Amino acid sequence: MKVRESQPLFWDRTDAGKRLAGMLDKYIGDDVVVFAIPCGGVPIGIQLASKLGADLDIVVPRKITIPSNPEAGYGAVAEDGAIILNEPLVERLGLDEEQIKRQSEQVRNEIARRSSLFRGKLDPPLVQGKTAIICDDGLASGYTMIAAIKSVQRREQARIVVAVPVASETACDLVRPHVYELVCLVTARVYHFAVASFYRNWYDLSDEEVIRRLDGWRKQRTRSK
């Protein structure tokens, strides 16, 4: 579905995850690991993993925010510390190397904190030879997802699929060449794209809520085995 204006098409992330899972039926029965990007991607990932009977893990990239607009980013840092930059935007913003280095180090510290905090709630699955489905609650620029893809590629998976409820058209164009398949319910071509504008009930998930959801998933998974 393609739209040209922002509109609240999903009630919340759980609703979006359930609807997105319906687009992935062909992966039921495959060897699949779902990688959720915290924090907003975790409710999405739980729905996908539940539908597919798949293992759940996390991958922790983080965007590097624009100093004057913390909601937007000019690049991202991968879980291994690699930096992916939107070079044209960096040039337009006039950011220097020292500023990028300083911000990237702060992002690396946050990645390490989140990885340690959240990964302890999951049993890391074997990924080699399996289909890796990376999910988030949406794609704005796409650079955070590129960072996630680069991290997962080091896990020797068979193929990578990206699945998101909503994305900007430019983000889809950026991400699609890097993956086996990009599954997106809503592609938006709007001037000021914001993932939040496509959700009725949108808020930033706290660390505590992410931990609670991951704990719930692990208990559910244990009972079903």
Yes or no: say if 161 and 178 are a contact pair by the CB < 8 Å rule. no
CA torsion sign, 97 to 70 to 195 to 147?
A: positive
CATH value at residue 178: 3.40.50.2020
How many structural domains comprise the chain?
1
Q: How far apart are CA 165 and CA 197, in angstroms?
A: 12
Q: Is the pTM of this model over 0.85?
A: yes
Which pairing describes strands 62-66 and 55-58: parallel, antiparallel, or unpaired?
unpaired
Most confident of 1-10, 84-93, 147-156, 163-172: 163-172
Residue 89 included in any domain: no
Residue 107 included in any domain: no
Closest CA to 83 of 100, 99, 98: 100
Range of the domain at 51: 2-59+125-224
pLDDT grade for 2, boundaries at 50, 70 and 90: very high
Residue 72 included in any domain: no
Residue 24 included in any domain: yes
pLDDT value, residue 136: 98
Residue 68 included in any domain: no
pLDDT value, residue 205: 96
Tokens 């809503």 sit on residue: 186
pLDDT grade for 225, boundaries at 50, 70 and 90: low
Residue 174 included in any domain: yes
The arithmetic mean of pLDDT across residues 82-87, rounded, is 91
Residue 50 included in any domain: yes
pLDDT tens-place string over residues 22-71: 999 999 989 999 999 999 999 999 999 999 999 999 999 999 998 888 77
Helix and strand element counts for the chain (H, E)? 7, 9
pLDDT tens-place string over residues 140-197: 999 999 999 999 998 888 899 999 999 999 999 999 999 999 999 999 998 889 999 9
The arithmetic mean of pLDDT across residues 128-134, rounded, is 94
